[in-house]
Amino acid sequence: MRVVTARDYDQMSRKASYIVASRVILNPRCVLGLATGDTPKGLYRELVRLHQAGDVDFSGVTTFNLDEYVGLAPEHPNSYHRYMEEHFFRFVSIPPEQRHIPRGDAPDIAAECERYEEAVRRAGGVDLQILGLGRDGHIGFNEPDVKFEKGTHVVRLAPSTIEANARFFASAGEVPQSAISMGIKTIMSARRLLLLASGPEKAEAIRGAVLGAVTPDLPASVLQLHPNATVIVDDDAASLLF
């Protein structure tokens, strides 16, 4: 695991964008795994900037998102379909048929999980998976105690995760209680991993993920076992590492 530090969120986002853009430049038909939430917004902003400057072309890229809320249709304002459209897809050249996000409104959620896992396999797996980090160390929506051998599956969200995401909804009561998420096994099958974390509230989780024991109690700790994992953290998130 490589740890890269940045002085602040903006520099972290820029450094991450150079890694992602370099993958696309070297392999224009690569498969990117995408994350949502507050942390990747700066990364997407920087990638859009590079695209609009003519430095990187996403037209050959295939994408797979980590997760989606169960029960939300793609057009719902808080769906991750909408998030990706607003922050990335509408600004770049990825054809719609090359963008993949789980359907939270699928009539058979178990079948949707199987379909999504199979779609990742058919694409040849993920070349570079982008990850954020929950305060409890979750990646994707893989909460503490989720088994490492899980593929794409339905996750019951922890109260802390619901509380953290309540700011995106009118109230905590409107946050879905479950989500479809790529599992740890799927994430770890990616050829490269890129974890981003910013802010002092992530410092404890980063210390555990980088220096602690590998345990399902802190899902991000499994990244220590990946042969090509990079962690980019700002000074606040890195404050307990050194």
Report, as residue numbers or ranges, the catalytic residues. 67, 136, 138, 143
Q: Which amino acid belongs to residue 189?
A: S
Say how far apart CA 150 and CA 3 lie, in whole Å: 26
Distance CA 224, CA 103 (A): 31
Q: Could you tell me the two tokens for 179?
A: 């989500």
Give the integer Cα–Cα distance in Å for 65 and 116: 10
Please choose, from the candidates 34, 37, 74, 66, the residue with its C-alpha nearest in 3D space to the C-alpha of residue 165: 37
CA pseudo-torsion sign 31, 33, 39, 41: positive
- Note whether 112 and 102 are within 8 A (CB): yes
Using a 10 angstrom Cβ sphere, with 0-12 exposed, 13-18 middle and 19 or more buried, the burial of residue 54 is: exposed
| 3-state class (DSSP) for residue 76 | coil
Give the largest CA-CA distance in the chain: 49
User: Are the C-beta atoms of residues 220 and 184 closer than 8 Å to each other?
Assistant: no
Contact indicator for 104, 79 with CB cutoff of 8 Å = yes
Secondary element (H or E) of residue 236: none
